[in-house]
Structure 1
């Protein structure tokens, strides 16, 4: 129980530091309608709420994941870091489709369903972010679009 309380406190402190660092994001007069700070604020707020919940109500008898689960989590982190680096040169659609398909395959190892989930998430998120939220996303790499 003490480990859960310490973990919850650390997550809460890191989330608050993340929110504080998001206040330093520079905005220009040509910023997106949502603004560049809103997403980090939301992520930090959700993380802080989760950390507070874990600190207040820890699990009495936690089951630790197996080594295989830790390996899958490390693989997912590597995929997401690669996704972050691939967004700028490759645009939004291709890296999002590949990343979503890989992560979907990790959840349920059915290749066809994972590929369809990746494509659907990529196109669906692009439509939401580009047209509903008005974000300035680039769909494909410049080499493909000319």
Structure 2
């Protein structure tokens, strides 16, 4: 196990604890959902704590290969650029289309060569998360150009 993983795991746990405390301390909603704004930061905090613990205690790689090599560095830069474009595209493309495109391009970048699998996974993932937020959690997500088409 690398010391860096432990350090980042501890940092992630600390940020997760902060989110959890701040989420729990939010005032309850006066109208609407009784959980109000409590749900998202609590889930986010618990997820960060879980990932931080996993990162800190998991065994390290079996080889001595560097995590970032000359071969993988361009992929990391491209992934970062895609993430920036994704965040910029959400307001005008909407969550559903921008996330589908982002997941598809990311899966292709990570090695998925089947167009059918890439499209299927990206559409199912995006639609699932979209309808979970819209219908179950009743948290609105940006609709983008779907809003101009009258979709609500």
Q: CA deviation at 1:79?
A: 2.2
Q: Give the SS at the match of 1:91.
A: helix
Q: Which residue of 2 aligns with 1:64?
A: 66
Unaligned segments of structure 2, at least 5 residues: none
CA distances 1:28-66 after superposition (whole Å, capped 9, x unpaired): 645656633422322222222332344345538664323
TM-score by length of 2: 0.68
TM-score by length of 1: 0.70
**Which residue, 119, 123, 134 being the options, matches 2:123?**
119
Moved more, 91-100 or 40-49: 40-49
What is the alpha-carbon distance in structure 2 between the residues aligned to residue 64 and residue 144 of structure 1? 49
What is the alpha-carbon distance in structure 1 between the residues aligned to residue 25 and residue 93 of structure 2? 28
Q: CA deviation at 1:95?
A: 0.9
What is the alpha-carbon distance in structure 2 between the residues aligned to residue 143 and residue 72 of structure 1? 35
Give the length in aligned residue pairs: 146
| RMSD across aligned positions (CA) | 3.3
CA contact under 8 A between 1:10 and 1:51: conserved in structure 2? yes
What is the alpha-carbon distance in structure 1 between the residues aligned to residue 33 and residue 140 of structure 2? 7
Q: Which has the higher contact order (CA 8 A, sep 6+)?
A: 1
What is the alpha-carbon distance in structure 2 between the residues aligned to residue 76 and residue 24 of structure 1? 35
CA contact under 8 A between 1:93 and 1:122: conserved in structure 2? yes
What is the alpha-carbon distance in structure 1 between the residues aligned to residue 61 and residue 86 of structure 2? 36
